Structure formats: C-alpha cells, structure tokens
A and B are shown apart, each in its own frame.
Chain A
Amino acid sequence: MSNRIYNVLFHTHTISGLVISVALFVIFFAGSISFFRDDIVNWERQQPIVNNTQMDVDFDTMMDSIAASTPLYGRDITLSQIHQERRVMVSITPSKDTTAEEAAQARAFFYQDPATQKSYSYFQDITLGEFIYRLHFFAQIPYPYGYTLAGIVAFFFLFAIVTGVIVHWKKIISNFYLFRPRAKLKTVWTDAHTALGLIGLPFQFIYAVTGATLIIGSTIMLSTATSFFYDGNSQAMYKDLSTDVAALPFTNNPMTFKGSFNNMIAEAESQWEDVYANKVVIQNYGDANMQVAVDVKPINKKQFSGLGQVAFKASNGQIVFKRTPYGETPYIASVQDFLIKLHYGNFGGYALKVIYFFFGIITCFVIISGVLIWVEARDKKSNTVFKRKANKWVASIFLAISLSMYPVTVISFLAIKLFKNVNDPAPHLFIYKVYFLSWLVLSVLFSIKKNNYFTNKWCLISGSILGFMVPIANGIVTGDWLWTTFNEQQIQIFVVDAFWLITSIVTLIICFKLKPGKNKTATATESTTKKDKPKKQFKSKVKAKAV
C-alpha cells in the first residue's frame, strides 16, 4: 500500500468515525442494555414469566375477547410473542370484505394481556425496556428519519471498521500485544483502540452488517428493487420475501369458527420433537376459507435455524400444508433467522447475553478512545491555540453526552420504579421527560465544566451509587428483594437487580482505580511540554512500516 493510500484511508477512517461518534455511542450503549430488554420490561411490570414459555397462551379465550371488541371478519390476524413477556402482539390486516365497516378497513396493532384480557395500544404498552431498546435505533425521532439515521450510522460504522482494518493491517499482530499504560495519553488511547478494536472486530462487523440490514435493509437497500424490479409494486416484493404460508382465496362466505386454536397449536407442536410455536397467523377470519398457519421453530440446542409450518383448514381442522423444521430451511427463512439471532444474541441464554453485553461496552470504549486519539493527536504546537481549544471542547461535549448516559439510565430506572403511575395512559411521556431532560441537564453541566477526568469520574460515581439503589428501591416498592426473587425463581426480576448491583460494584472499583490527577496533569503537561519528541518517532515508524 502506497503512502498516499495509507494516509488517505487513514483520514477516511478518522472522519467517518468522528462524524458518527456520538450517534454510534448512543446506539451501542442503549443497544447493550437492550440485551436485557425483556427482563427490564418484566422487572418494571413485576410480571416475571418462566423462560421459554412464549406462546403458552390460552388463545381461544384471547381470540374470543378480541373478537368481542374488534370486528375481525375477513381479516388476517398475526399473533406472536417475539419478546419474553406476558403480553401478546396482535396485528390485524384490513378486511378483505369490501363492505366491511370502517373500523375493519384499517390495520390494527395492539398488545393483549392474556392474563387479564386487557388490550394496550402501542404507546400504552411502552416501558423503560422498550424505550431504551427503541433509543438504540433512534425511534424517538419521527419515522422515517430516526430509522434512516440509525441505518446510515450503522453503514458508516461498517465503512469505519473496514478502513480501520486496512490501515491497521500491517501492524495488526504486533500492535495487539502492545500496551503502554505509562506512556503519554495518546499512546494509551491508541493501544486501547487497536487492541480492543481487534478483539471486538468480529462482533462489531456482525453488528454493523446485521444492524444496517435490520433497520434500512428493506427501505433503502431494496428500494431500487422495489422501483425497478417490481415496478414500484412493493406489496409484490414483500409477498415474495415473506415466509408466511399463502392464504386461501377469500370467498366472502361467512362461517362461524367452531374449532379450537389451542388444539391446532398443540397439534402443530406435536408434529416434531423439540419445537415450539413461534407465530400464529389466522387468515380470512370467519370465512369459509379461514386458515390457521402455525410457525414452529426448533429449540436452539437442536438446530440454529429452522422453519416448520403447519396450516389447518379451520372449517374441518385438517392439515393442508406441512413443512418440517428439520428439513432444508428455505434460504429466506434462514437469512431472517440468522440476522435476528446474531443481532439479538438470544440463542445462548444469559451467559451469551452477558458476553454480548461485555463486547457492546468494549465497543463503546473503542468509540470513546477513537475520539480521544483524535483530540490528542491534534493537540500540538503546529496547530493554532484556537483550534486546539476547539478540539478539546468538542471532545468534552462528546464525553459529556456519552458518559452521562450511564447515570441517566440509572436515574430512569429509579424513577420508573418509584414514581411511575401504572394507570398512566401515556407512560412514554413520563419516560421521555425523565430520560431526555436529565440527559440534557447532565450533558450541559459536564460540557460547561469541560474537564474530561471530572466527567468520567462523576458519571461513574453517580452511576454506581444510584445503581446500588435500584435493587433497594425495587425491594422497598414491591417487596421483591434480590434473595426473594432468586428463591422464587423470578429470574427476570432477579437479573435486573443483580445487573445493577454488579455493574455498580464494577464501575465503583474502576472509579477508585482511576489515579486522581495523574491523567489530568498528564494531559495538561503533555499538551505543553513533552509533545514533540514522541510525535516524531511515531510518524517515522508509520512511514517505515507503510512503505
């Protein structure tokens, strides 16, 4: 690689990384916590469920109660529990009966609690877990801008990863073993950035690709396919790319359904060993050609990806379509499975989630150290004083916004436990206020203080102390102390409390290990005195290797 290309690619790595830094940090920090989304939701609602009991629901009673409040004739109803939580997602298409009443002409989406048969609109259902999960792809910014922004950030992240690897390629082995904690700050950041970047490389590559695909794969990457291949008919494309069992034609011949959904689901699950129902689609509800399609999946230990399907003709309960999950999985189905499982990290229990969480935090550190390298490397005499000050200021703002996410997240956990009104019809407004306002206040305060050491230390300390209070607050408010939830096997509630306890201890230890003043003075003195000499050495080294 010529010197020119090396430097040009280096520059693209720097710029692409800097441009997305804050957004990427938010994505990775919120995303890492989202690994425990379902636990947080159940912790907040105090509704622990036994693991792997998704879709163990009395669907007959549930459908009766939905049918009592919603006109269903001629509509397709999809029932699924994509998360480990009690409520079932219900999604209903417009009726195929063109004379249907107005309420049946539009799509409907809500959550149904099978224990109480209450239904909740999307916003009524929002919890802190869902909020943090949606923050990780900027869903709070109106659609489609938030999603697109998150997708573009993921794509630029991929660009930064690839250019980073190219630039780093020649020294990838030797630099991996290089750690000089006593050297000047820039060297520390560089060593950390390259070593942790290399350790996290496969993880980060997977997340960049799966993340971009999940969020803008259909809207942007397939946009040309929609307009040129399908001549703008996006319905035709989604039909092609869907793995749902094709519906029977709608006859508009009403017929009362007398069978049992529960029996059909049980029958579908009994067709193969070690499978569980994943999704139920009821097509042409109440029509002579009503069909119930049950998707079943093999448990993770048995097979990573697989799609079994059983479709019943509702009028006589006969099986009209059957696909084995252990045979050859359709390519589209396995692509979807792989993307989602790799991104959600939900195929290996809590152990895997903890590892994924750890890697997510490592990536947060890689992002921060990248920005800090950028500042330190430009903090030299050849730059004007104004420029150096401006760079430092940018870095302080970046650190203030990113690091304050830790205490802000803890504050919102405490607020949700202590002050949330269960009957609030719009719980999202409360969460928005707590999270975004405290984030704004802390970011502004730390930005004004403009001291990175101070920001880091106080974010960690306040996060730790408040984090200790999360299990205590939960114990006082609900009586679910760590030991009771553990003894009663309410694992999800236990996981959230234990998570905050362990995280608080770890961050507090890190905080005490921070050598007070040393880093700070090092920054101060280095920027003025011993900057020149090591700089030159490094440059010549780069040149020598690059040639």
Chain B
Amino acid sequence: MPANKKYLNPSFHQRFAKITAGFIGGFLITSLLFLIFALLTDHVAILITLKFAGFIVWCTLMILPFLFENGWKAWAFYFIALLVLGATFYFLKSTSPELLSAL
C-alpha cells in the first residue's frame, strides 16, 4: 500500500521546490488574494474571513504544486501569480487613497 515509488520524484530539489511553493508561495497568494478584496470591499469582514478561511485556501494551494511533475514549474506559476496579485494590490493601494481613507 505505500505509495508506489516509481511515481515519486526522489530528488531533493524537486521536493524542496514543491513544498516551498505550497508553503511559502501558497501562503503569500492566499494573503494577497484576501488583501485585494479587503481593499475593494468591507475590509473588516474580509480580514476576519481570511483569519479562518485563509487556512483552507492555503491548504488547497499547498496541494496543487504536488500535481506538477516539475516543482520549479509550479514555483514559476506561483511566482507569476504573486507578481500579478502583488502589483494589483500595490496599484490599488497607492492609487486609491479614498479607499484607504475609509479605514
């Protein structure tokens, strides 16, 4: 019953890539996703949702990299997502001071 080894990639850097992509990348994507919504709508409701639902989203994003054969490819996708989300967040936050003044 143990997982059939022929499907597992034993190389350290592949495993490292998948785990870090899910753990670090997944966490940052989850946070940014919620923070963007927090800028656009009721930030208190979104942030308290992030506090518990964030773990479920993060968990999903931690599973996804394992579906890739190449862990670095997963990192690439996550990195692009991070750039897009990060840029959106930065743009929204800096160009819409009226959103922030509502805080």
Contacts and interface: CB of A to CB of B under 8 A. Distances in A.
Interface of B: prevailing SS: helix
B66 A224 contact: no
Interface in B61-103: 62-63, 66-67, 69, 89, 93, 103
A335 B48 contact: yes
Contacts of A217: 51-52, 54
Tell which of B32, B47, B51, B103 has the most Cβ of chain A within 10 Å.
Answer: B51
A12 interface: yes
A167 B63 CA distance: 12
Nearest to B89: A228
Contacts, number: 113
B27 to A, nearest CB: 8
Q: Contact residue range for chain B? A: 35 or more
Given A159-B63, A225-B47, A229-B43, A8 B32 contact: no
Contacts of A212: 55
B26 to A, nearest CB: 10
B59 interface: yes
B28 interface: yes
A224 B47 contact: no
Interface string B26-51: 00100110110011000111011111
- Give the 8 A-B CB pairs with smallest separation, nearest first: A224-B31, A7-B7, A11-B3, A10-B3, A213-B52, A217-B51, A7-B3, A4-B7
A444 interface: no
B8 A7 contact: yes
B41 to A, nearest CB: 12
A14 B2 contact: yes
Contacts of A378: 2
Contacts of A6: 7
Contact of B55 (A7, A12, A190, A213): A213
Interface stretch (A128-136, A234-242, A278-286): A234-242
B35 A240 contact: no
A221 interface: yes
Contacts of B58: 155, 221
A225 B7 contact: no
Interface residues of A, number: 47
Contact of B52 (A11, A335, A373): A335
Contact of A5 (B28, B31, B52, B67): B67
A58 B9 CA distance: 66
Interface in A4-59: 4-12, 14
Nearest to A186: B1
A271 interface: no
Interface of B: 1-4, 7-8, 28, 31-32, 34-35, 38-39, 43-45, 47-52, 54-56, 58-60, 62-63, 66-67, 69, 89, 93, 103
B48 A332 contact: yes
24 contacts: A4-B7, A5-B66, A7-B8, A8-B8, A8-B67, A11-B8, A162-B59, A162-B60, A163-B63, A190-B1, A209-B55, A217-B51, A221-B54, A225-B38, A225-B50, A228-B89, A228-B93, A229-B43, A237-B47, A240-B43, A241-B44, A332-B45, A339-B52, A539-B4
A498 interface: no
Nearest to B45: A331
A136 B91 CA distance: 43
Given A5-B67, A9-B63, A9-B66, A229 B54 contact: no
Contacts of B63: 9, 12, 159, 162-163, 166
Contacts of A3: 4, 7
Contacts of B56: 158, 209
Nearest to A223: B31
B48 A377 contact: no
Nearest to A205: B56
Contact of A236 (B2, B4, B69, B103): B103
Highest count of chain B CB atoms <10 Å: which of A210, A228, A240, A378:
A228
Contact of B66 (A12, A538, A539): A12
Contacts of A186: 1
A377 B1 contact: yes
Given A7-B8, A224-B31, A159 B62 contact: yes
A306 B68 CA distance: 45
Contact of B51 (A5, A12, A222): A222
Given A9-B63, A210-B52, A542 B7 contact: no
